[in-house]
Amino acid sequence: MAAASATQLTVNGALKMATTSQAYLEGDKVKETKSLIAELCRHFYNQGWVSGTGGSITIKVHDESVPKSEQLILMSPSGVQKERMVDEDMYIMASDGSILSAPVAKPTPHKPPKCSDCAPLFMKAYQMRNAGAVIHSHGMESCLVTMLNPLAKEFRITHMEMIKGIQGHGYYDELVVPIIENTAYERELTESLAEAIKAYPKTTAVLVRNHGIYVWGDSWISAKTQSECYHYLFDAAIKLHQLGIDWTTPAHGPIQNAKISALAPNDSIKPSRRCIVLDIEGTTTPISFVTDVLFPYARNNVGRHLDATYDSAETKQDIKLLRAQVQQDLENGVAGAVCIPADDAGKMEVIAALVANVEAMIKADRKITALKELQGHIWQTGFQNNELEGLVFDDVPAALEKWTALGIKVYIYSSGSRLAQRLLFGHTKHGDLRKFLYGFFDTTVGNKRETKSYAEITASLGVDNPSEILFVTDVYQEVTAAKAAGLDVIISIRPGNGPLPDNHRFRTVKSFSEI
């Protein structure tokens, strides 16, 4: 083992010396990337993204002989006219962000060269998402769209063709972009951007209120393409807003009063209600489906899934989350926790320990992110192979369609991962029900039995009053927490649900048709 480690160190050391040598820094690959950044900045200037010296771009030097994590980083400077930049203006940085080469100072009236103020933010995208390029735009659309709702922590849009240009999204999907608050100095945004990247594992962008947007991709082509799509969608949202049309709904149209009257006899749904948040187990779906179908499938396929996908980035991230959770469990003396050996112990040994821990977690029905993320990925394979089919109560599809027609936005909040939620509603005998759903919340917003979780959801949905949100679940403690946050609440009574406390005093329904 020691000899192997020494060899690896020698190889990495030689590679680092080769890529940081003067010959490499002056080589064709670096020169091509410098020219590309200058060209793109001129293009972005014409788009209105980097005017007034604002905005920036950084690209890794693509070299197939160098691992992506070790590739050099080129970055446009700060405070310069982006449309007049030339190749020699670029900073060259090592993979850790240290500066290897800085541009030579130009005569007055040019300012002395300065590395981009965005550098620490760019590094977060490189380190946390293995990006190949990052674009920071000050485009007007990306600024104004954060002002449409000053309290919103997310930008949401669905059923727009250009959503397909965003990595991991399709036409029917809801695109969610986190919004962080601006600061006086760009570098002060670093931690809040990192927190947003961590909280939204699917996002490829973060909006900064009253400021602009950061967009990253696997390559400069991906980053550029997605930036163009994001700006198009922001512009569309602003124009739809001006027309009085809700861009977050599949219909993209105002609801007529006559339609509301026809679909809501006896005023069974209050016009003032804007959102409905639904639990899954015991509410939209029988508890038995989760306990008798989904959980056993995940438990029985943990080893197979880990073995088949062990080297994938997705599974590596799942293993990282499980390692952290198990370490915490061992420190807290949690029953069933088994130490996971280091990677060099061998693939099979690591997988065996992971399987033991996951089986114990499933048996204890633990509501933890590490378990839910892995289960979601296992179920994804099951749904894709038609080994699983989502199950909902028969009254659910009609209710979802009715609420959507009324202009009420329906969301899901479950302890299962967002991926698992989307899979369940996307593969039912009633077809794809995601077209009626506007978003998905999981335990990344907080524990379902804690009031602060519902306060977080309220802030995300951007309603004027928490009472405009109806939360429906079968769990008494969850209803209590949601009510304490000011939400309207209903308890779902379904076959197989657990008993409720006597005199709980909450409204109950046995079917969504009663809501």
**Domain boundaries 22-243, corresponding CATH code:** 3.40.225.10
Residue 211 marked as a ligand binder: yes
In this prediction, residue 291 carries a pLDDT of: 86
Q: What are phi and psi of 276, to 5 degrees?
A: -125, 130
Least confident of 61-65, 150-154, 274-278, 324-328: 150-154
Confidence bin at 478 (pLDDT 50/70/90): very high
Query: Residue 3: its pLDDT value, please?
Result: 40
In contact, 62 and 29? CB cutoff 8 Å: yes
Q: Which runs of E-coded beta strand occur in 362-462?
A: 409-413, 439-441
Q: Is the pLDDT of residue 165 over 50?
A: yes
- Starting at the edge strand that comes first in sequence, how are the strands of the sheet with 439-441 ordered? 439-441, 409-413, 275-278, 469-473, 488-492, 508-509
Per the prediction, the chain carries an average pLDDT of 88
Alpha carbon distance 430, 399 (integer Å) = 13
Whole-structure pTM value: 0.52
* Alpha-carbon span 496 to 131, nearest angstrom: 47
pLDDT recorded at residue 20: 78
User: What pLDDT is recorded for position 91?
Assistant: 96
Between CA 495 and CA 182 the distance in angstroms is 49
What's the confidence (pLDDT) of residue 257? 38
Q: Which two tokens stand for residue 294?
A: 């989904």
User: Structure tokens of 419?
Assistant: 């991926």
User: E strands within 26-90?
Assistant: 56-60, 73-75
Residue 136 annotated as binding site: yes
As a whole number of angstroms, the distance between CA 221 and CA 36 comes to 11
CATH code, 288-385: 1.10.720.60
**407-426: pLDDT as tens digits:** 899 999 998 888 889 999 99
Question: What CATH code is assigned to 275-282+390-514?
Answer: 3.40.50.1000
The answer to whether the beta carbons of residues 186 and 114 sit under 8 Å apart is: no
The response to whether 448 counts as a known ligand-binding position is yes
pLDDT of 246-292, one tens digit each? 888 776 654 433 333 333 334 443 444 689 999 999 999 999 998 89
Cα separation of 448 and 282, whole Å?
14
Backbone CA torsion sign across 339, 344, 347, 349: negative
- Please state the rounded mean pLDDT for residues 81-101: 93
According to the annotation, is 488 in a ligand binding site? no
Residue 107 scores a pLDDT above 90: no
Contacts of 313 (CB under 8 A, 6+ apart): 130
22-243 and 275-282+390-514: same fold?
Answer: no
What distance in Å separates the CA atoms of residue 272 and residue 429, rounded to the nearest whole number?
A: 32
pLDDT band at 512 (very low <50, low <70, confident <90, very high): very high
List the strands of the sheet with 73-75, edge to edge. 99-101, 91-93, 73-75, 56-60, 133-137, 212-217, 205-208, 174-180, 154-158
Please determine, for residue 180, whether its predicted confidence score (pLDDT) is greater than 90: yes
Q: Which is more confidently placed, 11 or 90? A: 90
Enzyme catalytic residues: 161
* Residue 415 labelled as part of a binding site: yes
421 contacts 414 by C-beta, under 8 angstroms: yes
Spans of all domains in the chain: 22-243, 275-282+390-514, 288-385
Rounded distance, CA 266 to CA 272, Å? 15
Sorting pLDDT into bands at 50, 70 and 90, what band is 395? very high
Residue 113 has pLDDT above 50, yes or no: yes
pLDDT category, 461, cuts 50, 70, 90? confident
pLDDT surpassing 50 at residue 19: yes
Q: What is the pLDDT of residue 372?
A: 84
- Average pLDDT (390-411) is 93
